[in-house]
């Protein structure tokens, strides 16, 4: 189920995903409220831009302070405060500070909070005594994934906190090697095999001046109400040109033109 008027609270990739998904599921209005400005959103810039193209409204410098509901507990909206940016904080970003005293309301019938992730404690029956990190995730050996309880391993978001799929998969493979060591006493991952690939890449070759190619994307009116793939693949010719672009940061230091190719 998705509401008619949806508010998403947050500024990361999960918030953008939630907003774009709500639009695709039939919401007529979707707004993202974020307490800092757009330039300081941790979400990928291209994701934010595509969300705006799809008709999602971004309300920066807005701080939610109360969720308004009716007597049956159904959402009516969010009470907010206007913010402005102050001095820099420990994250290197300017701290949002209250601007003015009067709160204002934004109407909505569904509110999605995308302001962080935490571990689901109910998924650990019988292991409530597992050691936690200061961030309340599971403490695990970074090499083997073993926790403080022999035979119990952890990895991915549950031990490292929210991160990428790539890191989660790598964490799972490290834990698999740790489990193999625990069960057999054999160090190393027996399933790993070295592979050699033939390539004609010449690391000493001069870079080529091909510009960065943009992805082909579906127009907003053709994608905002379905889950079709938005970014289309390059042609073989374009992909080949992009593969030949300069990846040598040292080259620009010697010729002064590297920035054009980077």
What pLDDT is attached to residue 184?
Answer: 93
d(CA 72, CA 69): 8
Q: Residue 107: which H helix or E strand, with range?
A: strand 104-107
pLDDT: which is higher, 246 or 17: 17
10-22 average pLDDT score: 96
* pTM of the predicted model as reported, rounded to 2 decimal places: 0.75
The SS3 of residue 157 is: helix
The DSSP-derived string for 38-66 is: GGG--S-HHHHHHHHHTT-EEEESEEEEE
The SS3 of residue 169 is: helix
pLDDT: which is higher, 258 or 246: 246
17-21 average pLDDT score: 97
The SS3 of residue 257 is: coil
**Centroid of chain to Cα 247:** 25
Bridging pattern class, strands 216-217 and 110-113: unpaired
Q: Which two tokens stand for residue 201?
A: 């890449």
What pLDDT is attached to residue 260?
Answer: 45
What pLDDT is attached to residue 253?
Answer: 45
> What tens digit of pLDDT does each residue of 106-121 get?
999 999 999 988 888 7
Nearest to 232 by CA among 213, 245, 246: 213
Contact 243, 205 (CB under 8 A): no
> What tens digit of pLDDT does each residue of 51-107 get?
999 999 999 999 999 999 999 999 999 999 999 999 998 878 889 999 988 999 999
> What tens digit of pLDDT does each residue of 123-173 get?
777 767 889 998 889 999 999 999 999 999 999 999 988 888 999 999 999
What pLDDT is attached to residue 125?
Answer: 72
């Amino acid at each position: 189920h998705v509401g008619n008027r949806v508010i998403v609270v947050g500024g990361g990739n999960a918030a953008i995903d939630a907003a774009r998904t709500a639009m695709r599921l039939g919401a007529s209005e979707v707004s993202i409220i974020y307490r800092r400005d757009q330039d300081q959103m941790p979400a990928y810039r291209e994701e934010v831009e595509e969300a705006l193209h799809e008709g999602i409204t971004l309300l920066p410098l807005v701080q939610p302070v109360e969720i308004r509901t009716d007597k049956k507990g159904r959402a009516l909206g969010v009470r907010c405060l206007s913010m402005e940016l102050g001095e820099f904080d420990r994250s290197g970003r300017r701290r949002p500070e209250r601007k003015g005293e009067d709160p204002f309301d934004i109407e909505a019938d569904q509110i999605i909070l995308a302001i962080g992730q935490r571990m689901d404690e109910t998924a650990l029956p019988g292991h409530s005594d597992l050691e936690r990190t200061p961030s309340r995730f599971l403490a695990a050996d970074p090499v083997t994934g073993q926790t403080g309880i022999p035979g119990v391993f952890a990895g991915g978001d549950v031990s490292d906190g929210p991160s990428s799929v790539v890191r989660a998969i790598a964490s799972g493979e490290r834990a698999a090697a740790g489990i193999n060591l625990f069960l057999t006493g054999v160090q190393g991952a027996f399933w790993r095999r070295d592979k050699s690939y033939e390539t004609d890449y010449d690391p000493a070759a001069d870079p080529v001046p091909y510009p960065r190619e943009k992805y082909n994307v579906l127009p907003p009116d053709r994608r905002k109400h379905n889950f079709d793939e938005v970014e289309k693949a390059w042609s073989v010719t374009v992909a080949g040109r992009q593969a030949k672009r300069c990846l040598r940061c040292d080259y620009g230091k010697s010729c002064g033109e590297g920035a054009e190719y980077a």
